[in-house]
Every structure is written in structure tokens, then in C-alpha cells.
Amino acid sequence: MKKNGRFYFLDCLYLLIMILPILGGIVLRVLTHPAESGVSIRGAQVFCTIPMPVQDLIISESQINSWLVILAVFGLCLYLTHGLSARFPTKRQVVAEWIVEKTEELVYENMGPFFKGFSPFICAILALSGFSSLLTLFGLYPPTSDLNVVAGWAILVFILITYYKMKCGPWQYIKSFGDPVPLLSPLNVISEVATPVSMAFRHYGNVLSGTVISTLVAAGLSGLSAILLGNLPGILGEIPFLQIGIPAVLSVYFDIFSGCLQAYIFAMLTMLYISSGFPADLYEQRKLRKATIKSVSK
């Protein structure tokens, strides 16, 4: 495909859509967070509170950074899909096709052919969760460290789980709480409610614990460096030598590996909970019965 000035202009525009939200988040953090000394572990900063009839709407660092991630992922999607060609695929097109193919394979293997349309949703979960955790690489507060954000994702997944469990009707859904014996109904109800709670706390706890551990280790290494090497002459005694390298290794694990792993686990749990809760056999029988009644009535 022949590339002209308009093509390169759109490429630059899409790259800006990717980069500018992150830069804006960094600038906002610098302007709103005063310099601190020592160990500081705190939650998301609250920027403002909007009065609402039922409950006030809090605009915090988590919401702002979530929207920044959404804009950055949107720009990435536009960039990867710009200039698609069936005859002369570009490298970015190969990357985009690989992402689509791998996501479709993941959904097909874990959910089956009935849920093949879930590929965009699962890919969105992976991207939003993974990139939200990676914000720590830029010194920004990760939305996945806020229980409110992750709980919102879990509630959305729980609504989908309930929707597909009720595909055979509300009565069938209520009867499922009595399996295998009616005496277990209270436990089954508790298990149903515990699903979004466990998903939220698992994701939130693992991401937050990584941030806390990294901060404590960095602060501890700074103090240890001052004790062991503080007597070096001149400016050398002020340099925290023990902080060089070790926090970076921890960051590779907690910020990159662990963040991406938690995104994968959340997506896997979403697929497994929805597909396992869907009564496929009963649904097919119900469809067949409706088709038979409809044909007889004609």
C-alpha cells in the first residue's frame, strides 16, 4: 500500500493518543503530589467530590488513571489497525492479527464455540488490567491497586455470569442452588455471592502487595546503605549504592510479570466462571423444544 502524507499524519496522531495520556498523568502527579521523605504508602488521591442525590461521586486518581489507560489502549488499537492490507501486511498488522488469533484461541479453548464472540471482551480485560498495572513503571498510581476499580470489574463479570446462568429461565437458575441436595442451598448462595468478592480481592491484593513490598524493600535498602556505606568520603557517602539494581529486579517481577499474570488470571476466571455456569445441554434442549412447538403450531 502506498503511504502518503495523510497516512503518516494519522500515524503520528495515533501515537500521540497513546503517549499524551501517560505524559498528562505524569504531569498531574507531579503537580498534585508534594515531595515526601521516607516511606509513604497511601491510596489513590481524591481530587474532588461531586454531590449526588444518593451518594457523592468521588473523582480520584484511580478513575483518572483508568481513563488514561483506556485512551492509551484506544490509540494503540488505532495504530495497530491503521493501513490494513490483505496483499501487503505491515509488521503492525502482523502483531494485531497475532493478538486477535491468540485471544480467539484462548476463548475457544476455555469457553467453547458458543462464546466465540467473547474474544473482544476478554482482550479488553487483558489490556485494561495489564496496562493499568504497568502504570507503576511511570511512577503513576495503578488503578488495579484500588479495590473500588477491581470490584467494579468483578461486578460486571458477575452480571454476565448470572445472565448466562439464567439462559434457561429464572426458575432453572433458582433450582440450581439446590444441587446436588436442597440442604446445600445456603452454601450455594454464599458461594454465588463470594464469586465477585474473591475475584476482586485476589486481583487487588496481589497488585497492592507488590507495590507495598517494593516500597518497603527500597526504603530498607536506602537505610542499610546509609549505615554500611555512609562513612565513605565526600558525596560517595550520600549515594544509596544498595538501591542500585535490586529495586529494578523487584520491579521487573512485581510491576511487569506479576501485573500481567494477574490480568491473565482475572481473564481466565472470567472465562471459566461464565462458561461453567452456562447450562449448555439444557439450553440446547430448550431451543429444540421451542423450535418443535413453533413448527407444530404452524
Query: DSSP string covering 115-184, please?
Result: GGGGHHHHHHHHHHHHHHHGGGGGTPPPGGG-HHHHHHHHHHHHHHHHHHHGGG-HHHHHHGGG-S-GGG
Q: Express each pLDDT in 68-84 by its tens digit.
A: 999 999 999 999 998 88
**DSSP reduced 3-state for 59:** strand
Domain ranges, residue 138: 5-26+49-297
pLDDT at 77: 93
Range scoring the smallest mean pLDDT among 77-86, 225-234, 278-287? 225-234
pLDDT at 22: 93
Q: Contact 176/162 with Cβ under 8 angstroms?
A: no
Whether 105 is in a domain gets the answer yes
Whether 31 is in a domain gets the answer no
The Cα–Cα gap between 192 and 116 comes to 25
Whether 222 is in a domain gets the answer yes
Whether 42 is in a domain gets the answer no
Q: Which of 269, 294, 222 is nearest to 38 (CA)?
A: 222
Q: Provide the number of structural domains found in the chain.
A: 1
**DSSP reduced 3-state for 52:** coil
For strands 46-50 and 57-60, give the pairing.
antiparallel
Whether 33 is in a domain gets the answer no
Range scoring the smallest mean pLDDT among 5-9, 41-45, 108-112? 41-45
Q: Contact 75/131 with Cβ under 8 angstroms?
A: no
Higher-confidence position of 288 and 105: 105
In angstroms, the Cα distances linking 20 to 12, 16, 70, 81, 142 are 12, 5, 12, 19, 17
Examine the pLDDT at 65 and tell me if it is beyond 80. yes
- pLDDT band for 258, please (50, 70, 90 cuts): confident
Q: Contact 113/52 with Cβ under 8 angstroms?
A: no
Q: Contact 173/165 with Cβ under 8 angstroms?
A: yes
Higher-confidence position of 275 and 236: 275
Burial of 130 (0-12, 13-18, 19+ CB in 10 A): buried
Identity at 15, one-letter amino acid code: L
The Cα–Cα gap between 166 and 168 comes to 5
Q: Contact 270/122 with Cβ under 8 angstroms?
A: yes
Q: Express each pLDDT in 139-184 by its tens digit.
A: 888 898 888 899 999 999 999 999 988 887 788 888 878 777 777 7
- The set of long-range contacts for 75-79, using a CB threshold of 8 Å and a minimum separation of 24, is 75/14, 75/15, 75/16, 75/17, 75/18, 75/19, 75/21, 76/18, 78/14, 78/17, 79/11, 79/14, 79/15, 79/18
Of the chain, the percentage scoring pLDDT greater than 70 comes to 87
pLDDT at 64: 92
Predicted TM-score (pTM) of this structure: 0.83
